[in-house]
Amino acid sequence: MSMWSLRLKLSFPLSVLAVFAVGCSTFPEPTHEDFEYPKENVYVKNPTKKFKKIGVVRSKVNFETLDPTLDVEKLCKNYYNKSVKELLKFAKKAGGDAVMDVKSVVFFMDGKMETYERPECADDGLEAQILTRGVAIKWIEEGPESESKTE
């Protein structure tokens, strides 16, 4: 047996072993960014300022819940904050100034839907989802000009 064939016989199993060692490594753990609830222009109920309704805005955020050490309720609140921020972004994109009547939405297997004024997520053990909806609104200017128009 030549030296070359001996090297080839030894190097092939080593390279296969290296591929399996790298291929069997663990997956990276999911990272979750922290999101804060918007401080302005988001209302669960009606705002006190005068407004006109523009239309309904909706948001959906998916997030991983595979790690059993994670607090799913805390993650749900966190991604609710992200979803509400997206509602405000969509409201502004539609020409609004704020979003009101913010609710989380849950769909059931039988086709029924419920809304909540608090974060409610759907979780299948691998991935969770938060659905939110609200009404985009535009502020009505309160000044001498707007008062004369309404009289």
Rounded CA-CA distance 75/69 in Å is 12
Report the predicted TM-score, pTM, of the whole model to 2 decimal places. 0.73
Residue showing tokens 């913010």: 102
Rounded CA-CA distance 37/70 in Å is 20
Q: How is the chain split among helix, strand and coil, in percent rounded to 5?
A: 35, 30, 40
Cβ contact 58:115 at 8 Å: no
Model confidence pLDDT, tens digit, residues 69-89: 888 899 999 999 999 999 999
Model confidence pLDDT, tens digit, residues 13-62: 545 545 455 555 555 566 788 999 999 999 999 999 999 999 999 999 99
Environment class of 77 (CB within 10 Å of its CB; exposed 0-12, middle 13-18, buried 19+): middle
> Whole-angstrom distance between the N-terminal and C-terminal Cα of the chain?
105
Split at pLDDT 50, 70, 90, the class of 146 is very low
Domains of the chain: 1-151 (3.30.110.70)
Model confidence pLDDT, tens digit, residues 124-144: 888 999 999 999 999 998 765
